[in-house]
């Protein structure tokens, strides 16, 4: 019984953590548009490359549908744009 509860909890967390992260990414981006620097949010939710790859392959292994991978795609695209803007200084304003 206890083992089953652990497995079920793991699957629920694996399924919904990307959605929660994507929501915080949107909040962080919107706050950035209003020039509010929400550093605590960025420390909590920013995902590096290896955990992102892990979450993506976990969603494939457990055969989640594409809807559960959409937040991972959003997070990946957001990180690529952020890193390329940091290194290439893309002249795009928030407006």
Dist CA 5 CA 7 (whole Å) = 5
Asked whether the predicted pLDDT for residue 92 surpasses 80, the reply is no
Q: What is the share, in percent, of the chain residues with pLDDT greater than 70? A: 95
Q: Which pTM value belongs to this model?
A: 0.83
What's the sign of the alpha-carbon dihedral 69, 15, 63, 80?
positive
**Residue 41 in tokens:** 């949010």
- Find out whether 79 and 47 touch, Cβ atoms under 8 Å: yes
Asked whether the predicted pLDDT for residue 12 surpasses 60, the reply is yes
Instruction: Render pLDDT for 40-83 as a digit per residue (tens, 0 to 9).
Output: 888 888 888 899 999 999 999 999 999 999 999 999 998 888 88
């Amino acid at each position: 019984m206890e083992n089953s509860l652990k497995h079920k909890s793991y699957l629920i967390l694996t399924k919904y953590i990307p959605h929660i992260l994507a929501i915080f990414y949107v909040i962080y981006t919107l706050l950035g548009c209003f020039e509010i620097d929400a550093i605590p949010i960025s420390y909590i939710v920013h995902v590096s490359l290896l955990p992102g790859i892990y979450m993506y392959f976990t969603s494939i292994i457990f055969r989640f549908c594409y809807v559960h991978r959409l937040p991972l795609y959003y997070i990946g695209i957001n990180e690529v744009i952020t890193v390329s803007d940091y290194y290439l200084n893309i002249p795009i304003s928030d407006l």
